[in-house]
Structures are given as C-alpha cells and as structure tokens.
Amino acid sequence: MIKAWQKAQKRREPLLVIGEGSNVLFLEDFAGTVMVNSLKGIEVREEDDAWHLHVSSGENWHDLVSQTLEQGIPGLENLALIPGLVGSAPIQNIGAYGFELKQVCEYVDLLDLNTGEIDRMSSERCEFGYRESVFKHEFKVGYVIVGVGLRLNKQWSPLLNYGDLTKLDPQTVTPQQVFDAVCVMRR
C-alpha cells in the first residue's frame, strides 16, 4: 500500500483504496490508482468475560458476523448482511437494528501512508457518532484502516428493539435466531 501511495504521489495522481466496491459508484473516469484492500486474518483471544478479536480490514463484514456466530461467539448478529469490508465499518460507524460498531469496537489500526507507521486508535479517539467518525474527515486522505479490534461480551443479551426482532422472545431467543431474522429483514 505504501509503495502504491508513493508512486501515486510522484505522479501527482490520487490513490483510491476500495474494499469490495459495494459503496463505490464511478460517474466518470478516475485519473488515478485504484487499490483493492485484500488484507486478511482474524485473531481471537478469549478471556473470562469476553472475546477480543483483531480483524484485518480486508475481511468481508458479513462473513465475519457469520464466522463468529458459527464459532459460538455472539455479539455482531444485528449487523448481519451489511455490505463491505471490516475496514469500512469504522469509517461510518456501521449500525443496524439498534446496534452500532462503536458498542464493540476497542480500537482501529490506522496506517499512515506517508510514514508507514501504524497508529492504534482507541475507540474514543475514533469519535464515533451516528454514521460518523474521524475517518471521514482528518484521516480521510493518506491513511488506510488496516485492522479493527472488537470486544464481544460472553454475557450475551439480545437487542430486539426494531422491526420483526420485536416479535422474538428475549427469554428464549438465540443469537442464531437474531441473525436469521436480521438476514430476512435485510433481504
């Protein structure tokens, strides 16, 4: 990524880093370099009360939600079927059905393309708001999110405040049932 950035800088052309292109629409030719984020990897560290995940930014978001659930790690099911990669999730603080990324985000690893240094930014430093973060503003150009840290509590409780989720019984519902209901609503 750094080499592509340096090349683009030398040529005085823009560099656009994209994920899967789910939120990209070109209305005219782009006179620059387009780079696809293909950083992969998911690390899970278990503690008594939570799972801590470090997820590379090139992982597909919905696949992450599915995989964690399959591994018995709930907590992301309300965010099922949100298009895009993990790296785009903090940019707009993705959210759905009463749940936002900021509720589980511990940190974001941000690569400074000018220096090659990675800054681990705490959730507080990300200044998450409704579909908002510092990554839309001061860290929009010259930076790339390369990883995201998530903390998923082992004491799971369903969030059932929206749509058909309100029809589910909070006493008996499972994370998989919430996931399935969210997928039905989003399709």
pLDDT at residue 7, rounded to an integer:
83
- Listed in sequence order, the DSSP H helices in the chain are 2-11, 61-70, 175-186
SS (H, E, C) 151-186: EEECCCCCCCCCHHHHHCCCCCCCHHHHHHHHHHHH
Domain ranges of the chain: 39-186
pLDDT at residue 19, rounded to an integer:
86
The pLDDT tens digits for 89-119 are 999 999 999 999 999 999 999 999 889 999 9
Question: Phi and psi (nearest 5°) for 125?
Answer: -65, -20
Q: Domain 39-186: which topology?
A: 3.30.465
Residue 179, burial from CB neighbour count under 10 angstroms (0-12, 13-18, 19+): buried
pLDDT at residue 27, rounded to an integer:
94
pLDDT at residue 3, rounded to an integer:
81
Cα 39 to chain centroid, rounded = 13
pLDDT at residue 21, rounded to an integer:
84
The two tokens of residue 182 are 């969210």
3-state secondary structure of 101: helix
Element spanning 17, H or E: strand 15-18
pLDDT along the chain (187 residues), means of 10: 81 86 88 90 98 98 98 98 96 96 98 93 98 96 95 96 94 97 95
Question: Phi and psi (nearest 5°) for 127?
Answer: 50, 55
pLDDT at residue 12, rounded to an integer:
87
